[in-house]
Amino acid sequence: MIPVGANGQITLKNGSSTQSVDVVRDVYGYFTQASSGDGVFTAAQGRLLDTRTATAIPADSSVSVMVAGNDGIPASFGAAVLNLTTTGQQNSGYLRVWPTGQPMPSTTSVGNFQANTSTADLVIAQPGDQGAVSIYNASGGTIQLIVDLQGWFSLDGNDDSGALTTQPPVDPPETDLTDAPTDPAAASSEPALPTDAPTGIAPAGVYCDTAGGVYKPTSLGGKYIHAFGPYQSNYNGTTHSETTTFTAEASGTVGVSLSGSLKISANELIARQEATYGINFSVSLTAKLGNSITAIIPVHKTVNAKYGVWRRRITGTSYILYSNCTRSASSTIISYTPYTVGWYTWQT
């Protein structure tokens, strides 16, 4: 994956000093621009592994490649785009790619390669332990493997199912969030509208009897947990899986947090979001002391747990519609709206 330059162009260079080459360029897709948020793709280029300068991968063996920490990739990310090149192989075969620390899949990740050829393929790989991926040489001989980073995806929030994951929970990307009021009276209160007269004349004397604050949800984002108290953890030092129970040691109430200038009440915000996405949201939810969850700890692994209120990240716009049908400038609203209480667990 290559970021484009001026006028949407890229430059290709023939590295040979003696021979010309024919080039075929195929386009598989493209990414729109986005500066932050959930599921954002960031182009990055760097070599993560080249066994030609180390040790070839033996037959029916695997290697773990660290992705996190390279070229600005954070410890928690959604997936990496990798270009895998096999060369110098003695036999035909294929590769399997999977998150380090998880069972190897039975499916082929990279198409068949032939003996004494060089084969490249592009994969999107999810990270495992410590942000690494594992690559298996499914052939009867050694191979040389080159792993080049092409980019990475940020996490689209977190998994709220309570299932054990391999990544710690990610926090909201925004740092300018403010908390909306949670008490019923304040949550129903409309923001004060400006007192200055709007500019513009209504066409043909039209009168807008729905004048007031307007909010429109435009994008449903990821799931984020607002946890209470420090996270808990248990290590399994045995040779078999163990069962453990985590119990909430703290409680608290969480409401809506948002950035931007909202022109309606918190209750109306909730109503608009529920009508748009069919999810039962709340102005506030309380995570109560004593709630528990049971998890299975794999051999020689640590399972961690956080308990709190889950919220959805929702992008929208808000503005004021005046009585003469003109409107104020729109404000982008990022809100984190409560919808359930629960746990998040991950292994390290």
Nearest alpha carbon to residue 257 among 266, 245, 249: 266
Share of the chain above pLDDT 90, in %: 22
Write the DSSP symbol of residue 323.
Answer: T
Query: What is the rounded average pLDDT of the residues 160-166?
Result: 75
* Terminal CA-CA length for the chain: 30
pLDDT of residue 154 exceeding 80, the answer is no
Q: Assign 208 a pLDDT band (cuts: 50, 70, 90).
A: low
> Which is more confidently placed, 217 or 184?
217
Confidence tier at 285 by pLDDT (50, 70, 90) = very high
pLDDT in tens, 257-276: 988 888 888 888 899 999 99
Q: Which pLDDT value is given to residue 48?
A: 93
Grade residue 197 by pLDDT with cuts at 50, 70 and 90. Answer: very low
Q: Residue 104 — very low, low, confident or very high, per pLDDT cuts 50/70/90? A: confident
Nearest-angstrom CA–CA distance, 10 and 3: 8
Residue 222 has pLDDT above 90, yes or no: no
Q: What is the pLDDT of residue 77?
A: 77
Q: Is the dihedral of CA 269, 273, 275, 279 positive or negative?
A: negative
Q: Which domains does the chain have, with CATH numbers?
A: 6-153 (2.60.120), 164-347 (no CATH)
Residue ranges of alpha helices (H) inside the chain are 184-187, 266-277
Distance in angstroms (rounded) separating the CA atoms of residues 348 and 244: 15
Instruction: Please give the average per-residue pLDDT across 290-318, as a whole number.
Output: 89
Banded pLDDT at 28 (limits 50, 70, 90): low
pLDDT of 195 above 60: no
Kindly report the average pLDDT of the chain as a whole number: 82
> Torsion over CA of 73, 302, 160 and 158, rounded to 10 degrees?
-10
> What pTM was computed for the model?
0.61
Query: In which element (H, E) is residue 21 found?
Result: none
DSSP for 286-313, written as a single string = EEPTT-EEEEEEPTT-EEEEEEEEEEEE
The yes-or-no verdict on residue 32 having pLDDT over 70 is no
Per-residue pLDDT tens over the stretch 83-101: 999 988 888 889 999 888 8
CB 162 within 8 A of CB 343: yes
> Strands 284-287 and 178-179: what pairing?
unpaired
CA proximity to 10, closest of 19, 1, 21, 2: 2
Return the higher-pLDDT residue of 26 and 80: 80
Give residue 54's pLDDT band: very low, low, confident or very high (50, 70, 90).
confident
- Reply yes or no on whether the pLDDT at 196 is more than 50: no
pLDDT of residue 37: 45
Closest C-alpha to 317, from 328, 306, 307: 328
Q: Is 342 exposed, middle or buried (0-12, 13-18, 19+ CB in 10 A)?
A: middle
- Percent above pLDDT 70 for the chain: 85
Hey, which residues does 344 pair with through a beta bridge? 306
- pLDDT over threshold 90, residue 193: no
Lowest mean pLDDT among 22-31, 124-133, 215-224: 22-31
Q: Which residue has the higher pLDDT, 64 or 9?
A: 64
